[in-house]
A = this chain, B = another copy of it.
Amino acid sequence: MAQFDKKIQKIGVYTSGGDAPGMNAAIRAVVRVGISQKLEVYGIHNGYVGMIENKIEPLQLRDMANIIQRGGTILKTGRSTEFMRPEGRARAAQNIKNLGLDALVCIGGDGSFRGAHALWEEHQIPVVGVPGTIDNDIFGSDKTIGFDTAVNTALEAIDRIRDTAASHDRLFIVEVMGRNSGFIASHVGLAGGAEEIFTPDANTTVEKAIDRINEAKSRGKTSSIIITAEGQKPGRAYDLADAIRKKSGMDAKVCILGHQQRGGSPTAADRILASRMGAAAVDALFKGYCDVMIGTEGERLIQVPLDLVYKNEKKNQLDLISLASVLAT
């Protein structure tokens, strides 16, 4: 966390990393709160890519019309390898300064915040972060923008798959997003009534899963759903299906939900979260705070230093997985 003492007049906003539903609501909040406070607000396209390539344009109130309900990000997003190098960041910083932007709001995840922190450390550009990622794996915030929507999208798919599983007396393995994190898997698993949940952090084993399914069968349950986070690479569900087949002879169908989890109209919770966080980010800049992320703690908004955010790992709620296990009996 840091403080700067310049009165801001022009700010920029960008989305970075994977897109998440609700990013548009956050952009809208930054722009409209900013303009209501007499700021000029600029949109930086494609994240750090556009910052380096100087794809930056002024945003007006009317540009924000009719976007609160849209998935994706109207500013587009991107991943820049060039920005990882000091020269890339210097070029980006120069563009920001040339345009006279006094401060930035960065909507993204860990990698994006690392870049934002560097902009402050190396070039004294004040940045406030807003956590936007469907994975919910951001230290310092109970919730991230897009997570609620992604979980509900995955849940709808699972509700549908259960119809087929029940009609055919089948075992399904459904793979949801989450490389290093199991938040989507644990939430969807509990909400979807899954028999077993595999995440990078839970200690579920194939043997336990087979035991549980056999136990369920003995009680008369003829179909089951296992949820797995994608883990190191998409396609983990196929490996799980193989392992289950080899150890038990049971045949499992695989569904990989994939990128549909990223899109779609944001839920009410995500729109509200994004609106509040976007407004709070501008407010923080007004008060001279920077190098922080806006987070939530319960219903309250808090500020967390950016380096704390990306240097720490958020723990998944493993109790949800235990609860799911009891409730799916």
Binding site for B on A (CB under 8 A): 15, 19, 21, 28-29, 32-33, 35-36, 46, 61-62, 65-66, 68-73, 76-78, 142, 148, 151-153, 155-157, 159-164, 166-169, 172, 187-188, 190-193, 219-221, 253-265, 267-269, 271-272, 275-276, 279, 297-300, 317, 320, 323-324, 326-327, 329
Task: Check A264–B163 contact: CB distance below 8 A.
Answer: yes
Residues of B within 8 A of A260 (CB): 157, 160-161, 255, 257
Q: Whole-angstrom distance from the CB of A226 to the nearest CB of chain B?
A: 14
Task: Check A276–B160 contact: CB distance below 8 A.
Answer: no
Task: Check B19–A327 contact: CB distance below 8 A.
Answer: no
Complex Cα spacing A267 to B155, Å: 8
Task: Check A268–B148 contact: CB distance below 8 A.
Answer: yes
Residues of B within 8 A of A261 (CB): 160
17 chain-A/chain-B pairs, Cβ below 8 angstroms:
A61-B329, A62-B220, A66-B162, A68-B191, A71-B163, A72-B166, A76-B167, A142-B299, A148-B269, A156-B264, A157-B260, A164-B263, A190-B271, A191-B272, A255-B260, A279-B323, A299-B317
Q: Whole-angstrom distance from the CB of A42 to the nearest CB of chain B?
A: 18
Task: Check B326–A262 contact: CB distance below 8 A.
Answer: no
Task: Check B32–A262 contact: CB distance below 8 A.
Answer: no
| From B35, B168, B255, B299, contact of A76 by CB (8 A) | B168
Complex Cα spacing A267 to B21, Å: 16
Residues of B within 8 A of A32 (CB): 326-327, 329
- Copies of chain A in the complex: 4
Complex Cα spacing A324 to B156, Å: 28
Task: Check B253–A259 contact: CB distance below 8 A.
Answer: yes
A153-B160, A220-B62, A298-B142 as given contacts; A320 in contact with B272, CB under 8 Å: yes
Residues of B within 8 A of A153 (CB): 160
Residues of B within 8 A of A69 (CB): 159, 162, 192-193
Task: Check A160–B33 contact: CB distance below 8 A.
Answer: no
| From B36, B265, B323, contact of A329 by CB (8 A) | B36
Residues of B within 8 A of A66 (CB): 162, 166
Q: Whole-angstrom distance from the CB of A138 to the nearest CB of chain B?
A: 14
Complex Cα spacing A269 to B272, Å: 15
Task: Check B259–A161 contact: CB distance below 8 A.
Answer: yes
Q: Whole-angstrom distance from the CB of A133 to the nearest CB of chain B?
A: 13
Task: Check A168–B77 contact: CB distance below 8 A.
Answer: yes
Task: Check B272–A187 contact: CB distance below 8 A.
Answer: yes
Task: Check A256–B258 contact: CB distance below 8 A.
Answer: yes
